[in-house]
Amino acid sequence: MKIIILSRNAHLYSTKRLVEAAKKRKHEVEIIDPLMCDIVIEKKNPKVIFKGRTLECDAVIPRIGASVTFYGTAVVRQFEMMKVFTAVESQALVRSRDKLRSLQVLSRAGLGMPKTVFSNYAKDGVQSVIDYVGGAPLVIKLLEGTQGLGVVLAETNNAAESVIEAFNGLQARVIVQEFIKESKGADIRVFIVDGVVVGAMKRQGKEGEFRSNLHRGGSANIIELTDEEENAALKAAKSLGLGICGVDLLQSARGPLILEVNSSPGLEGIEAATKKDIASTIIRYIERNV
């Protein structure tokens, strides 16, 4: 089987592990930068051109970074038009990358999440936005932020007002969320492949840091999920239509709360914490579908 991994960096841990796993199972694999692809739209003959040649394959694994979502998903969609199996569907990728839209989908599915408010640069409504989530401390997130970037903890109402007004002044869209004190700077990353939980880890932020992202210096340990946590994660993945994803959730007094669902979750942290070969699980998922 010929597998294409859409990735901008062949040296990333996740990309290298997927190549290893594919070759181990005797598949031909190639890493392609989606931004270097040309899309040819023609009646009954869609093509993806890379460095002058037409790409042909049996399956695609999208590893599309948030900054290249628009063009990256266009390339994935083109492969879908060519009847190629994609490990993450283009529509699900777009849906999950839009933080506001994905929270609305998760809410409609009846999933718990921190109380969240989004407003359209309303200068007069800043205090009411703060009040809606229960006041400070609260969390302010850029809609386009990833890996903990663009996430601010405002510990007082004055600080919250200043940060929201500053983002508004920059025409930067933000969501405001209640701060879940009992989570104590920790969250859970649940890794799902083809409707099955294949690994879970608890990530703890470093001292004095409320963000638990490993990119921000957090630590991770394997965790056994409760039935409620596992069901919430699986329902979140299903509601967004993602075959592969990382579901981030908080433990709270009112049960598990979904923070977000990542459509290109990294393999390094979860494989190190669980000691599982998750890259091979992804390749087997593709084998079952091609």
Phi-psi region of 171 (alpha: psi -120 to 50; beta: other; left: phi over 0): left
Summarize the confidence of residues 177-200 as an average pLDDT. 94
Per-residue confidence (pLDDT) for residue 123, from 0 to 100: 66
| Any domain includes 138 | yes
Reply yes or no on whether the pLDDT at 16 is more than 90: yes
| Any domain includes 111 | no
Q: Are residues 86 and 169 in the same domain?
A: no
Per the DSSP assignment, residues forming a β-bridge with 142 are 174
Reply yes or no on whether the pLDDT at 122 is more than 80: no
| Any domain includes 100 | no
Residue 243 CA to residue 106 CA, distance in Å, equals 16
Reply yes or no on whether the pLDDT at 228 is more than 70: yes
Q: Are residues 205 and 137 in the same domain?
A: no
User: Could you tell me which residue, 20 or 147, shows the higher pLDDT?
Assistant: 20
Q: Are residues 189 and 239 in the same domain?
A: yes
pLDDT tens per residue across span 243-255:
999 999 999 999 9
Q: Are residues 80 and 151 in the same domain?
A: no
Per-residue confidence (pLDDT) for residue 91, from 0 to 100: 96
Q: Are residues 196 and 284 in the same domain?
A: yes
Share of the chain above pLDDT 90, in %: 76
Summarize the confidence of residues 69-79 as an average pLDDT. 96
Summarize the confidence of residues 44-64 as an average pLDDT. 96
Helix, strand, coil tally for the chain in percent (to 5) = 35, 30, 35
Q: Give the range among 124-133, 191-200, 264-273 with minimum mean pLDDT.
A: 124-133
The domain boundary residue, chosen from 45, 60, 95: 95
| Any domain includes 156 | yes
| Any domain includes 102 | no
Summarize the confidence of residues 73-95 as an average pLDDT. 97
Quickly state the pLDDT bin for 150 (edges 50, 70, 90).
confident
Q: Are residues 192 and 172 in the same domain?
A: no
CATH of the domain at 166: 3.30.1490.20
Count of domains for the chain: 3
The domain boundary residue, chosen from 95, 126, 143: 95
For 221, the domain range is 182-289
Tokens 């229960």 -> residue: 134
CATH of the domain at 276: 3.30.470.20
| Any domain includes 261 | yes
Summarize the confidence of residues 254-259 as an average pLDDT. 95
Q: Are residues 224 and 249 in the same domain?
A: yes
Quickly state the pLDDT bin for 146 (edges 50, 70, 90).
low
Per-residue confidence (pLDDT) for residue 2, from 0 to 100: 98
CATH of the domain at 68: 3.40.50.20
Q: Are residues 7 and 77 in the same domain?
A: yes
| Any domain includes 39 | yes
Per-residue confidence (pLDDT) for residue 9, from 0 to 100: 95
| Any domain includes 253 | yes
Distances (CA, A) of 261 to 45, 233, 245, 264: 34, 9, 7, 9
Q: Are residues 159 and 257 in the same domain?
A: no
Which segments of the chain are extended strands (E)? Answer: 2-6, 28-32, 37-40, 47-50, 53-54, 59-62, 85-86, 116-118, 138-142, 151-154, 174-178, 186-193, 196-204, 219-222, 244-252, 255-262
Summarize the confidence of residues 107-136 as an average pLDDT. 88
Per-residue confidence (pLDDT) for residue 208, from 0 to 100: 57
Summarize the confidence of residues 84-96 as an average pLDDT. 96
Residue 213 CA to residue 187 CA, distance in Å, equals 9
Reply yes or no on whether the pLDDT at 92 is more than 90: yes
Q: Are residues 187 and 283 in the same domain?
A: yes
Summarize the confidence of residues 50-78 as an average pLDDT. 95
265 Cβ contact list (under 8 Å, min separation 6): 189, 191, 244, 245, 246
The domain boundary residue, chosen from 126, 150, 179: 179
Reply yes or no on whether the pLDDT at 217 is more than 90: no
Per-residue confidence (pLDDT) for residue 211, from 0 to 100: 59
Q: Are residues 157 and 249 in the same domain?
A: no
- The answer to whether the predicted template modeling score (pTM) of the entire model surpasses 0.85 is yes
Per-residue confidence (pLDDT) for residue 219, from 0 to 100: 78
Quickly state the pLDDT bin for 168 (edges 50, 70, 90).
confident
Q: Are residues 194 and 216 in the same domain?
A: yes
